[in-house]
Amino acid sequence: MSIAVIFDMDGTLFQTNKILEISLHETFNRLRTMKLWEKETPVEKYREIMGVPLPVVWETLLPNHSNEVRLKTNDYFHEKLIENINSGNGALYPNVEEIFSYLKNNNYSIFIASNGLTEYLNAIVRYYNLDNWVTEIFSIQQIQTQDKADLVKTILKKYNIKKGAVVGDRLSDIKAAKSNCLIAIGCNFDFAQQAELSQADVIINDLLEIKTNLSI
């Protein structure tokens, strides 16, 4: 029976903030040229809701726009995110490779479960060669409920996993862990919110701290 460590991507493994602002500005500049936006780019609003499913993102950022505009905006935004990843404008958080090597060498199975789209997640994995360690990547696109707890449940069922931990920076990660009887490790990184982190079993400030908090 495998023991799993399931990682969120944005704000946990990948420093999304390094490409978020530029990609968001590019996206809203396009909306401005189309006469669909006049205000400032809502960067801070996006930071607040980081980690929610994409339909919620665009309902929040574009509350007065049609679903068609939201969908097209989302597609363009993801094109820009991937361009910035492939241009080397992003970065992993410190010690990602070190903790992955440690876990792999100690027979833990590593997974990624994210609210991000598959193509976006694959771009990060390819650019940073994370597939050297990661068993499989799971996107919220793969399930109908758009609930990360169900996404984690999919991993556990597919790989017959009974024990493990979910590592992430937002409440959806913590709830996904607890709903599946796993350890909830909260990352006190860029997008984290203290009220959400307080619900985790463990709070870390560096990924290497996972080593001493896997009491499984």
pLDDT in tens, 28-57: 999 999 999 999 999 999 888 887 777 889
Q: What angle do CA 158, 160, 165 make, to 5 degrees?
A: 95
pTM: 0.91
pLDDT in tens, 107-116: 999 999 999 9
pLDDT in tens, 115-165: 999 999 999 999 999 999 999 999 999 999 989 999 999 999 999 999 999
User: What was the pLDDT predicted at 55?
Assistant: 80
User: What was the pLDDT predicted at 216?
Assistant: 57
β-strand 108-114 against 3-7: which pairing, if any?
parallel
Cα separation values, 140 from 7, 34, 126, 143, Å: 13, 30, 19, 6
Kindly state the tokens that stand for 141: 């696109």
DSSP class of residue 186 equals E
Q: Is the pLDDT of residue 102 over 90?
A: yes
At 214, the pLDDT band (50, 70, 90 cuts) reads confident
pLDDT in tens, 153-171: 999 999 999 999 999 999 9
User: What was the pLDDT predicted at 174?
Assistant: 97
The domains of the chain are located at 3-15+91-213, 17-86
Q: Determine the average pLDDT of the residues in 59-81.
A: 95
Q: Is the pLDDT of residue 213 over 90?
A: no
User: Using CA atoms in the order 103, 211, 20, 57, what is the torsion angle rounded to 10 degrees?
Assistant: 90
Cα separation values, 40 from 16, 24, 25, 44, Å: 20, 11, 9, 10
Answer whether 83's CB lies under 8 Å from 119's CB. no
User: What was the pLDDT predicted at 35?
Assistant: 96
Tally: H helices and E strands in the chain? 9, 6
Q: Which CATH superfamily is domain 3-15+91-213 in?
A: HAD superfamily/HAD-like (3.40.50.1000)
What's the CA gap between 120 and 152, in Å, rounded? Answer: 19
